[in-house]
Amino acid sequence: MLLRIDHVGIACHNLEEKIEFYESTFGLVVVSREVNEEQGVREAMLHVADGDSGASYIQLLEPLHPDSAVGKYLSKRGEGVHHIGYGVPDVAKAMADIGAKGVRLIDERPRHGSMGASIAFLHPKDVGGVLTELVETSRH
Ligand code: V0V
Ligand code: CO
């Protein structure tokens, strides 16, 4: 059901500063920057690796406003790992399969994600404290 780790989402206060840190420390390259109003984030994807089932990234997330998902997370917990995004072949099917196991879906239908992906979130309280995102990329 899961193809790969598509991305690890990292919450930060200052996107430009964190991009500079990841570029200079790890030599990663930014491949996409977007503002996603629906999700309340300004985000950047930094390419890490390519695999048979697709690429993996670090997603740096800066909140657009304090009462957004990432804004609340930052004020409660500070900067750090915010979510894990798993690549799936079919996000609607993955939502139905995982929802049928009793895991709460935050989204009733897939949303628009980075680089044209369709995404959906699972509630962290049903995944051992890990906010989990399902990602169907637009590139397969
Ligand atoms: C909150 N909690 C988390 C968490 N955020 N636990 C683990 N990881 C996180 N990231 C815990 C929090 O500590 C509370 O536990 C409880 O959940 C309720 O949190 P809250 O602060 O009261 O906030 P809520 O309930 O208003 O919202 C939490 C949820 C929200 C997870 C429902 O953040 C959400 O809908 N997230 C999905 C959307 C999202 O995160 N978008 C930004 C990334 P205690 O203290 O009660 O024990 S956008 C993205 O990734 C894109 C675009 C992409 O990949 O393409
Ligand atoms: Co994400």
Q: Which of 62, 82, 133, 136 is catalytic?
A: 133
Task: Report whether pLDDT(44) > 60.
Answer: yes
What is the best residue among 31, 62, 64, 72 to mutate for testing ligand 1's pocket, by most ligand atoms within 8 Å of CB? 72
Q: Which residues contact 116 (CB under 8 A, 6 or more apart)?
A: 137, 138, 139
Q: What is the pLDDT of residues 90-108, one digit of tens each?
A: 999 999 999 999 999 999 9
Q: Letter for the amino acid at 57? A: Y
Instruction: Determine which residue's CA is closest to atom 9 belonging to ligand 1.
Output: 131
43 belongs to the catalytic site: yes
Rounded distance, CA 39 to CA 59, Å? 13
What single DSSP character describes residue 79?
Answer: S
Closest CA to 56 of 37, 31, 81, 20: 31
CATH of the domain at 79: 3.10.180.10
Q: What is the pLDDT of residues 98-138, one digit of tens each?
A: 999 999 999 999 999 999 999 999 999 999 999 999 999 98
- End-to-end Cα, the chain, rounded Å: 16
83 belongs to the catalytic site: yes
Task: Confirm whether the ipTM is greater than 0.90.
Answer: yes
So what's the pLDDT on residue 139? 63
Instruction: Determine which residue's CA is closest to atom 25 belonging to ligand 1.
Output: 69
Residues 83/133, Cβ–Cβ less than 8 Å = yes
What single DSSP character describes residue 104?
Answer: P
* pLDDT band (50, 70, 90) for residue 46: very high
Q: Residue 130 is part of which domain span?
A: 4-136
Q: Which of 39, 62, 82, 83 is catalytic?
A: 83
Rounded distance, CA 113 to CA 135, Å? 8
Q: Is the CB of 129 under 6 A from ligand 1?
A: yes
Rounded distance, CA 17 to CA 11, Å? 12
Give the total number of structural domains in the chain.
1
Closest ligand 1 atom to 113 CA: 55
Task: Report whether pLDDT(140) > 60.
Answer: no
